[in-house]
Chains A and B, each alone.
Chain A
């Protein structure tokens, strides 16, 4: 007997929640308990009184599963609102930050710096034998930059995961 899984599509969800202990565990636990995927998850509080946090979740699944994910998130008591930013007709902006450490001397070092310039990555730390670049952009752009840096002495990468927001004047 074989166990099969269905192919899915990528969705970016913005979730506003009470900023209180256990909420993140509830949400990540929901994903594991029900077998949903998390590609990335970011969270930070977003109100002056620290009452609310915004969580951006990048997930993956067939459309009925995405619907379920939204419904399941929505019924958690501390969840205020769930928005699918990838929903049809909802244009949005996605950004991710990566810190990329590259070590090396000579040509590799010069090549790394030149490529960083092309990608508009900033140098945030330097020694005689290393750089740390800060790059901001879509996950794709960050992926491409990191892939190139592998050829130029990549040592370490830290990424934030995606934050996203809908285009236009309205709030969610």
Chain B
């Protein structure tokens, strides 16, 4: 036990917990902690330009390293600005600790300057939150908060610390182990459930693996186990947006992403399968399409660390409540122990090859050098140019995000950072900042839409300050393309407020912040422009002008079945009934 101030305790606990980076923004209610961090030898504080960006940067840090991201913001507006990123981390299960300053305990509830009910506001967008009223509780709470953020299904934890608790002294010691009274997630799978699952897998004629972000969260070993199990069974595999990278996209068993903008083969395989093995995926509405038509012929196995995800949307036949990696290991062991061999799935693969033959990701384009660039082509060119460099890719939200998911191939986890559950425009650029801070030597590219980028564009200054070589690759279609696409499909092309008017000149903007700015206008400039982006040291913004009215296909309209995919622009009718309009 050591006696120290609350602020020193915060910093000591961060050191004891192995934290090397804090993303934050100062203010009155956190000045004591900022003072304790002043010239700190091991903790690097990254000063963002908006608290939302601090949370997304922490998410980018966390997603690319597997370690929790740490955020420090002041009370009131500092805390409320952080709410979007906290919610984003909750929906995508990202481990994050957010330290918020609060007015002194004696002023709580008096509408004091920069007071807000942070624990009240964040109660339902955190995995857990704390208001610390006693400096002696601060140490244990900090350690418990890290435990909760990183164990079980990861998520954000907020610790609200009144200013007088930061100034007052209390005793601190590093706990040896955290033995939580009530929070004890089940990590090891139930052997009976494993046996039941293996029996189903061994008997299946048309199996599909459907995997999600849980596999990434379970660590690189889980991805390795997934590859092994898929190899043993010879079954096809698809994944959610959040799960990309857990399985290599160049493997013949990879079907591509499934769901609303997934591939025809992935969605058809789900629809016709007799067994679905869901691993760390949560049957989100973007994935299932119309529920009563979802995988009608399939038995379902669901591996998840969160019991509330099981049977939430889709009732399953075998539930395995466990860490994805442990469950996959147990399945591999049981497969071997029972002496199973891969069945002949030839007939199933022939059907899948038939669906693949539609070449659903192909797109019409002109090939001459002066032609406009199709956005899909831009992504493919970026993918080709960065092969072998093991880049970390982040995205904003919109069509460009879906095109990136469809056309950029990933072969390892923790390289694909995108906002899935909340779909937060403004995520991608600060997430790239966080990833670059964690991996200074790596190539980090944010694939952005011109509209999304403007939601956190102020972070260009952060990048300049820390001399981060972040690359922003804008697919500039001059539209909130995804909104425009929905308006075209649902509202007879009445483009209400979806035009990106009054865009800045991104090249000049780059210059204003001391970045390099490049513009790519035609197909002939694409490869060279991308090469220049990669080869230019320091931060680069690329304003890549793409076809303005391109739509993202395939697409399952909201509330439609997997079999009702729109593959071509000509499949679009342009009207929808109210039932369909009411869906998101």
Q: What is the distance, in angstroms, from A149's C-beta to the closest C-beta of chain B? A: 39
Give the interface segment out of A23-31, A35-43, A121-129.
A23-31
With A18-B181, A26-B123 known as contacts, the answer to whether A75 contacts B315 (CB < 8 A) is no
CA distance A17 to B312 in the complex (A): 23
Q: Is A117 an interface residue (CB 8 A)?
A: no
Q: From A69, which residue of chain B is reached at the shortest CB distance?
A: B308
- Which of B124-132, B205-213, B256-264, B489-497 is near enough to bind chain A? B124-132
Cα A30 to Cα B578 with chains together (Å): 30
Q: A1-B578, A68-B308 are in contact. Are A77 and B315 (CB under 8 A)?
A: no
In the complex, which residues 118-170 of chain B have their Cβ closer than 8 Å to any Cβ of chain A?
119-120, 123-124, 127-129, 131, 148, 152-153
Kindly list chain B residues whose C-beta atoms are within 8 Å of the C-beta of A30: 124
B483 to chain A, nearest CB (A): 22
The reply to whether B307 and A71 form a contact with Cβ atoms under 8 Å apart is yes
Q: Is residue A72 contacting chain B, with contact meaning CB distance below 8 A?
A: yes
Check B307 against A74 for contact (C-beta < 8 Å).
yes
The CA-CA distance from A30 to B308 in the complex, in Å, is 13
With contact pairs A71-B307, A72-B308 given, residues A77 and B182 touching in the complex (Cβ less than 8 Å): yes
**Is there contact, CB below 8 Å, between A71 and B181?**
no
**Contact residues in A for B183 (Cβ distance below 8 Å):** 77
Q: Which residues of A contact B124 (CB under 8 A)?
A: 29-30, 33
In the bound complex, residues from chain B placing their C-beta under 8 Å from that of A74 are 307-308
Question: Which A residues touch B181, using CB under 8 A?
Answer: 18, 80
B582 neighbours in A (Cβ, 8 Å): 1
Interface 1/0s, chain A 57-96, versus B by CB < 8 A? 0000000100110011011111110000000000000000
Q: A48 within 8 Å of B by Cβ?
A: no
How far, in Å, is A121 (CB) from chain B's closest CB? Answer: 39
- Given that A26-B123, A75-B306 are known contacts, is A68 also in contact with B312, CB under 8 Å in the complex? yes
Contact indicator A22/B119 (Cβ below 8 Å): yes
Q: Is B311 an interface residue (CB 8 A)?
A: yes
List chain B residues, Cβ under 8 A from A78. 182
Complex interface: chain A residues within 8 A of B120 (CB): 25
Query: B148: which A residues are within 8 A, CB to CB?
Result: 77
Chain A CB within 8 A of B579 CB: yes
A1 to B315, CA, bound (A): 27
Docked Cα-Cα span, A72 to B307, in Å, equals: 8
Q: In whole Å, how far is A62's beta carbon from the nearest beta carbon of chain B? A: 12
**Complex partner residue of B311 from A25, A64, A77, CB under 8 angstroms:** A64
Question: Per-residue CB proximity of B561-584 to A under 8 Å, as 1/0?
Answer: 000000000000000001100100
Q: What CA separation (Å) do A122 and B61 show in the bound complex?
A: 65
Can you name 24 A-B residue pairings with CB atoms under 8 Å? A1-B578, A1-B582, A18-B181, A18-B182, A21-B131, A22-B119, A22-B123, A25-B123, A26-B123, A29-B123, A33-B124, A68-B312, A71-B308, A71-B312, A75-B152, A75-B308, A76-B128, A77-B148, A77-B180, A77-B183, A78-B182, A79-B182, A80-B181, A80-B182
Knowing that A68-B311, A71-B312, A75-B153 are A-B contacts, what are 13 other residue pairs whose CB atoms are under 8 Å apart, sorted by A's residue number?
A1-B578, A17-B182, A18-B182, A22-B119, A22-B123, A25-B120, A25-B123, A33-B124, A67-B311, A77-B127, A77-B182, A77-B183, A80-B181
Using CB atoms and an 8 Å cutoff, list the residues of chain B in contact with chain A: 119-120, 123-124, 127-129, 131, 148, 152-153, 180-183, 306-308, 310-312, 315, 578-579, 582
